[in-house]
Amino acid sequence: MEKKNIAGRSEKIMKICFYTLITIFALSCLFPFLLMVTSSFMSEKEIVSEGYKLIPDTVSLSAYKFLFRNFTNLFNAYRVTIFIAVTGTVFGLFFMSMAGYVLCRKDFRYRNQISFFIYFTTLFSGGLIPTYMLYVNGLGLKDSIWSMVLPGLMSPWSIFLMKNFMKSIPDSLYESANIDGANDFRIYWQIYMPLAKASLATIGLFQILGYWNEWYNAMLYIQTPAKFPLQYFLQRIVSQANIQLLIQQGLTINTGDLPSESIKMATAVIATGPIVLLYPFVQKYFVSGLTIGAVKG
């Protein structure tokens, strides 16, 4: 069903305002990204002497050549990231949506206590050392791919969002299914999940984004280069961070060989590109009116 468009004047003005505001903001978001892309095609000399430009004087592919020299490793890093993203998202969505369902059930006596139990973990944490020891000594996950999947698998924020979305699904659906004799899991799986498409898409997108950006756990736990995820792999190529500190300690590094500014830009482009292409596919779930028909039926 489509929204009936009352083409009143006020509506037209409102829409024009909206289009304008959105465009202005979108341009401010696009501009830096474009700058990054064009700068990745610049030669290092030009960047150093004249800064980033939208229209470079000379186009140079040296940054990309450098990155793709390592093609097999880069490809591998993509594979690792895709694996942890898919695994983590599928399992995470499954477990978290179940939890969201349970927490939104008003007849579940302990939902407040469990909510607090989950929420409390966002406030207090043991810190790096105990967590590290849990993963490495306690669970033996050093250098294991699971050390990148597990940390982000479930997040309190997503669980609460899930619960929030599910609360908006009308109770009448639950009641009628209950009367028909369905148990909670069936109701969850056959009724709530199809209706929660928008929320699954949202949380799923967030999970994927989180795993896509994963580098910290790789830094802590992964040693085999073949298991490096994309962001960490790219970061290592660009690393110059501690060179200055080392020099202050009296060590000498031949900095002439270190990658240049254009490579920093190129890695940023490579890191972002694919995921932005994913977003349009997910957007179709944010279309209004998914619950229509369910209540009427």
Q: What part of residues 226-255 is at the interface with another protein (CB under 8 A)?
A: 235-236, 239, 241-255
Which residues between 170 and 229 bind another protein (CB under 8 A)? 183-185, 188, 198-199, 201-202, 205-206, 209, 219-220, 223, 225
Interface with another protein, residue 140, by CB under 8 A: no
Give the range of 55-63, 82-90, 101-109, 171-179 binding another protein by CB under 8 A: 101-109
Count of positions on this chain that bind another protein (CB under 8 A): 133
Contact flag: residue 21 with another protein (CB under 8 A): yes
In whole angstroms, give the CA distance from residue 22 to residue 14.
12
Residue 101 interacting with another protein (CB under 8 A): yes
Q: Residue 11 or 61: which CB sits closer to another protein? A: 11
Looking at the Cβ atoms of 79 and 137, the one nearer to another protein is 137
User: Quick check: 82 binds another protein (CB under 8 A)?
Assistant: no
Rounded to the nearest angstrom, the gap between the alpha carbon of residue 56 and the centroid of all alpha carbons in its chain is 32
Q: Is the dihedral of CA 110, 113, 119, 121 positive or negative?
A: negative
Q: Residue from 55, 71, 72, 123 that binds another protein (CB under 8 A)?
A: 123
Assign 260 to helix, strand or coil.
coil
Cβ distance to another protein smaller for residue 81 or 202: 202
Give the CA-trace dihedral at 38, 44, 48, 54, to 10 degrees.
-10
- 208 close to 81: Cβ distance less than 8 angstroms: no
Q: Which of residues 35-64 bind another protein (CB under 8 A)?
A: 35-36, 48-49, 51-52
For residue 158, the minimal CB distance to another protein (Å) is 10
Q: Which is nearer to another protein, 58 or 106 (CB)?
A: 106
Under rule CB under 8 A, residue 144 binds another protein: no
Q: Does 168 bind another protein (CB under 8 A)?
A: yes
Residue 71 contacts another protein per CB under 8 A: no
* By the rule CB under 8 A, 75 interacts with another protein: no
Q: Out of 42, 80, 99, 263, which residue is the one contacting another protein (CB under 8 A)?
A: 99
To another protein, the closest distance from the beta carbon of 191 in angstroms equals 14
Let me know: does 203 contact 158? Beta carbons within 8 Å. yes
Contact 222, 143 (CB under 8 A): yes
Structural tokens at position 189: 């799986």
Separation in Å, CA 42 to CA 38, 83, 211, 236, 245: 7, 33, 30, 21, 29
- What tokens were used for 49? 């002497």
Which residues, 6+ apart, have CB-to-CB distance to 140 below 8 Å? none
Of 18 and 59, the one with the shorter C-beta distance to another protein is 18
CA atoms of 224 and 144, how far apart (whole Å): 9
Q: Judged by CB under 8 A, which of 41, 165, 174, 211 binds another protein?
A: 165
Sequence length of the chain is 297
> Amino acid letter at 248?
Q
- 70 closest CA partner among 219, 225, 202, 217: 225
Q: Which of 55, 72, 116, 180 binds another protein (CB under 8 A)?
A: 116
Side-chain half-sphere of 100: how many Cα atoms within 13 Å?
A: 30
Q: How far is the CB of 98 from another protein (least distance, A)?
A: 4
Asked if 145 is part of the footprint of another protein (rule: CB under 8 A), the reply reads no
